[in-house]
Amino acid sequence: MMRYLDANATEPLRPEARDAMFAAMSVTGNPSSVHAAGRAVRRIMEDARESLAARFGCQPADLVFTSGGTEADALAIHALGQGRRLIVGATEHDAIRAAAAGADVLPVDGNGVAGLEALAAMLVSGPPALVCLMLANNETGTIQPVAEAAALCRTHGALLHVDAVQAAGRMDVSLTALGASSMAISSHKIGGPTGVGALLLAPEHRTLSPLIPGGGQERGRRGGTPPVAAIAGFAAAASVPRDATRLVGLRDRAEQAALAQGAVVVGGHGPRLTNTTCLALPGARADTQVIALDLAGIAVSAGSACSSGKVAASHVLAAMGLGTLAGQAIRVSLPWNATEADIDAFAAAYARMADRLRPPLVSHAA
């Protein structure tokens, strides 16, 4: 039996999302069509838009459906970054880093938290900027001071785009409350289907130049026939209340079990998502740990980014100054349906693995 503890890669589909998708799939029509069939499908899509906009703090007209978080990030940088200098947090996801190639990098401290003084210094000099700062990190769960950064940006005539892909569904997230210019979210990280996400915009950025022009859908901001069933599943998943207290209890138990085996919690002293822990086991390679746990039926991932199956050195852990521990960290991220039994299985497998992989103690006895 597989114990799935890799929610930050993708969350299991919530039954509410599956039901909403089945219901929407049985209605035929293109939401752009003017006839009754088109209008029926359009109603499903607009209900989902209204529900997501209310949940994440924007006007329905300011929410643009995309194919996921990557496209939402790329659209924000394409549209809001025009003519602006780009500044990105050192621990941003590759969805941001690849779209903002050549950007100036905002450093983070040992807990992965971006420095606001450094940001202020960067904003004082140079042309008006677009700053990209994620709300919660995918590898460590570290939560960034986004509202404070947004206030700084406003003072200096800069815009702020927030990647809230990992935060949405796991903590309170509101574009309006954060005071940012735009925000990316993704359905499959909150228990909805893959293939859909959204870019939320502050009203002053409502009109933007599309990345995919096409047939004028999404008020000319994103061409292509929208995946209405997936959108319905996205909204249904987002409207399920979260149980952060239960998850944090389970996460802390997993963490204690690893600490007892000599692990180090990376970013453990900063603000973090309740479902995520990044555990470094000194002397044991991250990829070996992932394989050992996989063989024991536990799905986790390397702290290093492994977006295309390869385990590359993690820029997140390197930016936090982890040194060799950066190659020895795994990410354990609890899905919404994690159980006590999952944590018991993890604790037992981790202890067995640590026994095998821990470097032998060198005796200094004469």
Burial class (CB in 10 A: 0-12, 13-18, 19+), 113: buried
Q: Does residue 93 belong to the site contacting ligand PLP (CB under 6 A)?
A: yes
Binding window for ligand PLP (CB under 6 A); candidates: 68-76, 208-216, 259-267, 340-348: 68-76
Q: Which of 18, 41, 19 is nearest to 29 (CA)?
A: 41
Q: Does residue 68 belong to the site contacting ligand PLP (CB under 6 A)?
A: yes
Of residues 21, 24, 53, 95, which one binds ligand PLP by CB under 6 A?
95
CA pair distance 200, 181, nearest whole angstrom = 8
Binding window for ligand PLP (CB under 6 A); candidates: 65-73, 142-150, 231-239, 322-330: 65-73
Return the H-helix or E-strand segment holding 333. strand 329-333
Helix axes 228-238, 15-25, angle to 10 degrees: 150
CB 160 within 8 A of CB 149: yes
Q: Whose Cβ is closer to ligand PLP: residue 80's or residue 284's? A: 80
Q: Does residue 100 belong to the site contacting ligand PLP (CB under 6 A)?
A: no
CA pair distance 169, 186, nearest whole angstrom = 10
Of residues 58, 70, 211, 322, which one binds ligand PLP by CB under 6 A?
70
Shortest reach from residue 358's CB to ligand PLP, in Å? 30
Helices (H), 323-362: 340-357
Q: Does residue 275 belong to the site contacting ligand PLP (CB under 6 A)?
A: no
Site string for ligand PLP, 171-190 (x = CB under 6 A): ---------------x-x--
CA pair distance 36, 29, nearest whole angstrom = 9
Shortest reach from residue 33's CB to ligand PLP, in Å? 28
CB 311 within 8 A of CB 302: yes
Return the number of other C-beta atoms located less than 10 Å from residue 353's C-beta. 23
* Chain residue at closest Cβ approach to ligand PLP: 69
Q: Which of 6, 100, 1 is nearest to 299 (CA)?
A: 6
Of residues 91, 138, 274, 275, which one binds ligand PLP by CB under 6 A?
138
Shortest reach from residue 10's CB to ligand PLP, in Å? 8
Q: Does residue 218 belong to the site contacting ligand PLP (CB under 6 A)?
A: no
CA pair distance 163, 93, nearest whole angstrom = 8
Of residues 192, 197, 210, 270, which one binds ligand PLP by CB under 6 A?
197
Return the number of other C-beta atoms located less than 10 Å from residue 65's C-beta. 26
Of residues 140, 166, 274, 277, which one binds ligand PLP by CB under 6 A?
166
Q: Does residue 165 belong to the site contacting ligand PLP (CB under 6 A)?
A: yes
Q: Does residue 134 belong to the site contacting ligand PLP (CB under 6 A)?
A: yes
Binding window for ligand PLP (CB under 6 A); candidates: 66-74, 316-324, 339-347, 357-365: 66-74
Shortest reach from residue 73's CB to ligand PLP, in Å? 6
Residue 174 to residues 195, 242, 360, Cα–Cα distance (Å): 22, 15, 49
Q: Whose Cβ is closer to ligand PLP: residue 68's or residue 233's? A: 68
Specify which residues 171 forms β-bridges with.
Answer: 168
Binding window for ligand PLP (CB under 6 A); candidates: 64-72, 102-110, 232-240, 253-261: 64-72
Q: Which of 62, 334, 98, 317 is nearest to 204 (CA)?
A: 62
Tell me 66's DSSP state: E
Shortest reach from residue 149's CB to ligand PLP, in Å? 16
CB 186 within 8 A of CB 233: no
Q: Does residue 142 belong to the site contacting ligand PLP (CB under 6 A)?
A: no
Helix, strand counts (H, E) of the chain: 13, 13
Catalytic (active-site) positions: 306
Q: For strand 182-186 and strand 159-163, is the pairing parallel, antiparallel, or unpaired?
A: parallel
Site string for ligand PLP, 145-164 (x = CB under 6 A): ------------------x-
Q: Whose Cβ is closer to ligand PLP: residue 163's or residue 255's? A: 163
Contacts with ligand PLP, residue ranges (CB under 6 A): 68-70, 73, 93, 95, 134, 138, 163, 165-166, 186, 188, 197
